[in-house]
Structure 1
Amino acid sequence: MTGRDDSIAGLGARHGPRYRWLLLLAVMTGTVASVMSATVVNVAIPDLSQVFGLSQGRAQWVSSGFMVAMTVSMLTTPWLLARHGYRRTYVGAMMVLMAGGVAGGLASTYPVVLAARVVEGLAAGVVQPIAAIVILRAFERHEQGRASGFFGMGVVLAPALGPSIGGVLVDWFGWRSTFFMVVPVCLTAIWLASRFVPTSAPGGAAADRHGPRLDWTGLVIGTAATLCLLNGLLEIRGGDRLLAAGLLGSAVVLFASLVAWLRRAGRLGTPALMNLGLFGHRTFAFGSIVSFIFGVALFGSTYLVPVYMQIGLALPPSSVGAILLPAGAVLAVTIGVSGRLVNRVPIHVLLGCGLGMLALSFALMPTVKLGAGLLLVAAWTILGRMGLGLVMPALNLGSMRPLPNALIPQGASTINFLRTLGGAAGVSLCALVLEWRAAVHGASLIAAAASPQRLAAFNETFLLLAAVCALAMLAAWQLRSPPGIESA
């Protein structure tokens, strides 16, 4: 339209050696928008519960509904990139994300809020794998750790600053303001995309709008399986146990059907939502297991920690943000350091140390008592964020480096899918266990005043997350690879 060459080669020639960093900045901004939309609304969940008269189980669908949509849409990213190219895919996702934020902020009923969150999740899922593809395709091997660290430092500003700003906005302007936060970030991402994101598909090939069709059958089966899994988890407590068993059984059958469908597509050479050949690479296979378990702990805690501070410890939203902000800054610094360590320290060592620190932070949460100073809460939160910082760059790079270039888009979407699927289950699991333990202790999660019984329910949920992290450590140990794979 402009007569310019906006392929990756043309943009590289126009902007010189710095171009790959400008491209990373552009996709990082969109990822910040998607991560912010995923986390900032968690601060407003207690207010949403009161405004719409929701139980904890229904209120948590503000988070898990987003997660379901994001989980499934991630698998469409390779097809969208091949069909429409980087720029159209990226800008389209940003526009949908922004529309969801505006709709949520203007909503007057809970179903509209939930629908807006699903729309946001669909857009966020498409964006999430793109950065990993860019890092592995645009940067040389010796630069990938530094690029991943730079990207991670930027992206963690979203969960670091988001709850802090969101807490202040909830106090001053109410829950609606948290939805509007994403709009300026999306606009910035769209502007950067128009300058630095190529119109070509991964690998420099031209986008083929008449290429293979999307695997709709696989997408429908995957969506149905994920919904059955999460609804089954919600029905275990406070619902129909027979229905819960039916939903969980259906989820198992549907996920098995999805694998069978993908295997059939692989044999026949027809378009498939996921390439199962990825799991023939040992490092990727074990990295996927770690990603799933890590997702349970990561997203479960992202949901649980702000709710714990507000409901368990009776802190105002602004205080929650004040605690999470220094932890986010430490996370950003740790990711930068970890990115440089990826080429020097074995992947399984970095992952083991990071997951161990995360498990320890959860295990220490029960030491916080009602009326205790905020310093102890901040200390354990910072410890956990340091663990996250060690895990994040190592997990993606360590899992996908052995893949051939042609499989990198599929690998990025698949490993993000598995991590987010674990996250969607983790959010539901935390809400489920929290309600269960609160009922056991005879505590109410909606009463205004905090109580030792309610705090005990939160503490036991944190101990569950500690056990999940310990399980991930066992899987991470299997990421030991032959010489030449873990070191550059």
Structure 2
Amino acid sequence: MTSTSPGTTAPGGLDRSVLRIAFAVIAGGIAVIFDTTIVNVALHDLAQDLGASISTIQWVSTGYLLAMFVAIPATGWLQARLGGKRLWILAQVGFLLGSVLCALAWSAPSLIAFRVLQGLAGGVMMPLMTTLIMQAARGQSVGRLMAVVGLPIALGPILGPVIGGLILGNLTWHWLFLVNVPVCLLGIWLAWRVLPDDRPAADAPRPPLDVAGLCLVSPGVAAVILGLSQVGEQGGLGHVEAWLPLLVGAALLVAFVLRALRRGDRALLDLKLLRHRPLAVSTVLLTLTGVALYGAMFLLPLYFQSLRGEDALAAGLLLIPQGVGTLVTRSLGGRLTDTVGARPVAVAGFLVVALGTVPFAFSGTDSAYWWLLVALFVRGMGLGLVMTPLMAVAYVGLEREEMPDASIFTRIGQQLGGSVGTATLAMVLTASVAGATDPTVVAGGFDRAFWWATGFTLVAAGLSFLLPSRRELQRD
């Protein structure tokens, strides 16, 4: 644990040098965090402007997401070869270049190709962002630190559609990508100035790349994500577009796990780290958090648009109370994690999320908006509480060199959870309202889907009791 001298500690109890590193990294990474949801609201405009079908233009988002998953597993190896600072700057330059090329795209295929470039860079940045900050902190005040780190991650799916709607309402779609340029330039400059030079020594051994492992896990995860997205689009597993990618992806991942267990720490990802109880439980719970957060975030805009007749911008604005609720409890969640432990904070957070979701399971075409906005605020408060302890406890007891793989596990868990949640709730909703025109039937379908979202959240609350207690973590 690092020692701090007088004058090096900020009022919140965090080391100032760690806060500077956190600010530099988050300032550069925020473009990646918001990019997916900002662009999603523009798919209809992009299809019209580029003369493409919705099924084709959907790959602007799908290609970006799949490219991120191809890159994520290799991040730990790249960091060991290049050093965190150099890799972070290179990834930001790649994301900047991809953003500029997207703004200059002349057709749907060119835009999809440039989005893949963006996704590859973003896939490196997402786990690396957390790794760099946790390595700088060295186990110090991790709860309060993760409250800072996780804020833009939690707000991305909430505020992204609002920002995207505002840009489309006042500018052309090109600005959805050009807005990244000043953010990336600021992030590159701050990283150059603030991040420590951690490049490996010239005579240090270079870890070999587990090529076979990479060829199994990257396309495996990407295929599972593709299959889950098709489950949501097709409304079930009975279509070859859904079950075939899922089957292929699962087979590749099983092969990777069997191979990685044989290779141990020579594998692309050291699966033995999952024997570390805090990391394993946190990864599972972050997966369920992805289900609760992204699954419900798929339902909420649809509810306001399909059932209440709002446009995309209005639906995004109606979600602002959820973001405000997250802001209100974010720092509190960090302080409580450091003082009373992760377990009670996580349990309480999931229960508050469930409490804020239940009103939507009773809502209809004439439910009072003020009541739903209060429920969204409460739901946001729960999300602000729950993310911090889960992200913080995952790194407790890990060595510096183990943190990159831990970041990859937690990141994949969150994204898989989001895809599972979206696919499951889309399937429930589609099965309930297929062919229905009666608003009462449609409202009943949404009620059923929100009950599923509540159920996922309550399961996560129960599993949170498996998190190590504060006393157990102190022994570690």
TM-score under structure 2 length normalisation: 0.85
CA deviations 1:371-404 (Å, max 9, x no partner) are 5554333222222221111111100111220223
Name the structure 2 match of 1:463: 451
Q: CA deviation at 1:22?
A: 1.2
Identify the residue that residue 128 of structure 2 maps to in structure 1.
130
Q: From 474, 478, 487, give the equivalent of 2:462.
A: 474
CA distance in 2, matches of 1:54, 1:430: 25
2:287 counterpart residue number: 292
Number of residue pairs matched by the alignment: 462
1:195 to 193, 199, 213: 193
Q: Secondary structure at the match of 2:394?
A: helix
Structure 1 unaligned blocks of 5 or more: 1-8, 444-450
Residues 347-356 or 212-221, more deviating: 212-221
Within the candidate set 408, 419, 422, 1:424 is matched to 419
Shift of 1:358: 2.0
Judged with a 3 Å threshold, the aligned counterparts in structure 2 of structure 1 residues 219 and 137 are, in CA distance, closer, same or farther, namely: same
Q: Highest relative contact order (Cα 8 Å, sep 6+), 1 or 2?
A: 1
Once residues 96 and 345 of structure 2 are traced to their aligned partners in structure 1, the CA distance between those partners, rounded to angstroms, is: 36
Which residue pairs with 2:326 in the alignment? Answer: 331
Paired AA for residue 184 in structure 2: C
**Conserved? CA contact 1:232–1:248, under 8 Å:** yes
Does the 8 A contact of 1:354 with 1:389 survive in 2?
A: yes
CA contact (8 A) 2:64 2:119 kept: yes
CA–CA distance in structure 2, aligned partners of residues 37 and 209 of structure 1: 37
- Percent sequence identity over aligned pairs: 30
2:250 corresponds to 1:252: yes
| 1:309 corresponds to | 304
| Distance in 2 separating the partners of 1:154 and 1:237 | 31
In structure 1, C-alpha distance between the alignment counterparts of 2:18 and 2:442, rounded to whole Å: 50
Q: Does 1:441 align with 2:436?
A: yes
Distance 2:409 2:202 in 1: 21
Alpha-carbon contact 2:93-2:184 (below 8 Å) kept:
yes
**Structure 2 counterpart of 1:391:** 386
Residues 308-359 of structure 1: CA distance to partner in whole angstroms, max 9, x if unpaired?
Answer: 4334432233323432334323312311111111112231221112122223
Does residue 366 of structure 1 match 2:361?
A: yes
Partners of 2:18 and 2:136 within 8 A in 1? yes
Q: How many Å apart are 1:260 and its aligned residue?
A: 0.9
Q: Aligned in 2, Cα 1:46/1:478: closer, same or farther, shift over 3 Å? A: farther
1:446 is aligned to: none
Opposite residue 405 of structure 1, the aligned amino acid is R
Residues 250 and 60 of structure 1: is their aligned pair in 2 closer, same or farther, counting only changes over 3 Å?
A: same
Secondary structure of residue in 2 paired with 1:274: coil
- What pairs with 1:110-125 in structure 2 (closer than 5 Å)? 110-125=108-123
Q: How does 1:47-446 map to 2 (within 5 A)?
A: 47-48=45-46, 54=53, 62-139=60-137, 141-153=139-151, 156=154, 158-159=156-157, 161-201=159-199, 205-206=200-201, 211-233=206-228, 234=230, 237=235, 241=239, 244-266=242-264, 270=266, 272-370=267-365, 372-439=367-434, 441=436
Q: Does the CA-based 8 Å contact 1:400-1:408 persist in structure 2?
A: yes
> Is the contact between residue 145 and residue 339 of structure 1 (CA under 8 Å) also seen in structure 2?
yes
Task: Give TM-score scaled by structure 1 length.
Answer: 0.83
Give structure 2 stretches of 5+ with no counterpart: 10-14
**Residues 1:230 and 1:152: Cα distance change in structure 2 (over 3 Å):** closer
Corresponding residue for residue 473 of structure 2: 485
Query: Which amino acid is 1:313 matched to?
Result: R
Query: Partner of 1:75: helix, strand, or coil?
Result: helix
Question: Per the alignment, do residues 139 and 231 of structure 1 end up closer, same or farther by CA in structure 2, a change over 3 Å counting?
Answer: closer
Change (3 A) 1:228 1:156: closer
Give deviations 1:418-465, integer Å, cap 9, x for gaps: 22222233344444444443325358xxxxxxx554444444333322
Deviation at 1:160, TM superposition (A): 5.0
Matched, 1:36 2:31: no
In 2, Cα distance between the equivalents of 1:65 and 1:360? Answer: 35
Stretch moving more, 313-322 or 386-395: 313-322
Q: CA deviation at 1:229?
A: 2.2
Aligned-residue offset at 1:479:
1.1
Aligned match of 2:25 in 24, 27, 30? 27
